[in-house]
Structure 1
């Protein structure tokens, strides 16, 4: 057997076995509970900007970007901009690889691949830092609620210019808000690409961890995505990603468009 194919088979078998191991799942859940209480996700950066994500999810996103090779990545929720920067850097790498394969020089400022970020409050210091970053030419930002009809129309107009679209939802985490985001943005996802719904882990954590936040168990991104899937068979949860990550803020949140 081809050694590359052999290793891939071994990798898939490892993932299947990890997904079956209830002891590992329990340990992962307990670890998540402990570190979430300490704001573990606040400790990481991407190319110099705070990203507020888990390393496992960051790795999963770069795997998906390489696999899908999107022309456009739409992200709701900007915060400090680390995720926009990480996505933009991955798109830059895709362009570099395309240039190497084609034997051409590509001006990065003229690349058609873009990251589009939407946030209800893009704070001035974060906006300035993002715009000063070397990846800024690949990033466009829109300020406003991601579920406002005018904002949705702006995003749809931009997305209409692209063939391969990847969507990441990471703003307000209430059931109502995320369900509205799914209705608005999931249809923009191209076939075989993903709509990634972050912070579904809220459903699996103790209610007292969220203080005065308007979300919690029973009212969060996971409840929203399961409600959405009831009437949208064109999407399915990619459990393979859950099984290999084990530690993630997005369990059940990697939705693949299959139709």
Structure 2
């Protein structure tokens, strides 16, 4: 076994050991609970644009993009555009003609202007409309036509019904070896009533949609190694790897 193989084996062993470390798991859960209440994810930016994600999930996405080398990244949910900028910057580092397609039911004009004037905007296209609207889906499918490797990230409305429909519509675009990432599955792990002003809660959220989706789709599996090594993630059971 050479040095690189030895390091990889040791890393996998450490990650596996964390699963049974009850104290570490409890600490991770407590951190997540408190930071979610404190809106911790709102404190970060990527290349000048707010990116409403946990740093750990940004790191995971960086690893996935570098590994998969997609020529198209589709993101539902734009907000301030930090995630689009992040994805575009990763594709810029990879070289080639990789593109990012962002969808949002309401792209605020001030956010659109900031995204369009950003140096990474040359790789970004935005569509305004619901991610499950028939016409928007038609445009996305057309945009993805001919792409060899597509990565999809779902981060728009977090109700079970909406995410289930997104999974149905966008999973066929993901190629073997790539990923379909579903954010905010953490909602299922939060106390009931944690989101009193939102149409989602425990039992009605992205994770329940993922569980239902996987009962009827054998092309995807949960990449448990990702969530096991992160410990802190808003996407437990949400990193879905396409295996066929």
Q: What is the TM-score when the length of structure 2 is the normalising length?
A: 0.98
Q: How far 1:78 sits from its partner (Å)?
A: 0.2
Which residue does 1:184 correspond to in 2? 169
Residue aligning to 1:71: 71
Deviation at 1:211, TM superposition (A): 1.9
**Which residue of 2 is the match for residue 128 of structure 1?**
113
Residues 210-235 of structure 1, C-alpha deviation per residue, up to 9 Å, x if partnerless?
Answer: 12100010000000010001000110
Residue in 1 aligned with 2:62? Answer: 62
The counterpart of 2:209, out of the listed 224, 231, 242, is 224
- Name the SS for the 1:207 alignment partner: coil
Q: Which residue of 1 aligns with 2:126?
A: 141
Alignment map for 1:9-20 (pairs within 5 Å): 9-20=9-20
Q: 1:203 aligns with which of 177, 184, 188?
A: 188
Cα shift at 1:22: 2.4
Q: CA deviation at 1:207?
A: 2.2
Q: In structure 2, what is the Cα distance between the partners aligned to 1:142 and 1:161?
A: 19
Once the two structures are TM-superposed, the CA of residue 59 in structure 1 deviates from its matched residue by 0.1
**119, 122, 144: which one pairs with 1:159?**
144
Matches of 2:120 and 2:43, distance apart in 1: 21
**Cα drift, residue 180 of structure 1:** 0.3
**Shift in Å, 1:20:** 2.3
1:84 equivalent to 2:69? Answer no
Whether 1:248 and 2:233 are equivalent positions in the alignment is: yes
Q: Distance in 2 between matches of 1:186 and 1:21?
A: 34
Cα distance between partner residues in 2 of 1:40 and 1:164 = 32
Distance in 2 of aligned mates of 1:245 and 1:251: 10
Residue 245 of structure 1: CA displacement? 0.4
Residues 146-168 of structure 1: per-residue CA shift (max 9 Å, x gap): 00011011100111121100000
Any unmatched runs of 5+ in structure 1?
96-110
Q: Which residue of 2 aligns with 1:23?
A: 23
Deviating beyond 2 angstroms after TM superposition, the runs of 4 or more aligned structure 1 residues are none
C-alpha distance after superposition, 1:40-69 (max 9, x if no partner) = 000000111000000000000000000000
Aligned equivalents of 2:13 and 2:126: distance in 1? 41
Q: TM-score, normalised by structure 1?
A: 0.93
Task: Structure 2 unaligned segments of length 5 or more: list them.
Answer: none
Alignment of 1:12-51 (within 5 A): 12-51=12-51
**Aligned mates of 1:161, 1:48 — CA distance in 2:** 32
User: How much has 1:129 moved relative to structure 2?
Assistant: 0.2
Deviations 1:95-144 (A, max 9, x none): 0xxxxxxxxxxxxxxx5210000000000000000001000000000000
After the TM superposition, which of the residue ranges 79-88 and 14-23 deviates more from structure 2? 14-23
Q: CA RMSD in A?
A: 0.8
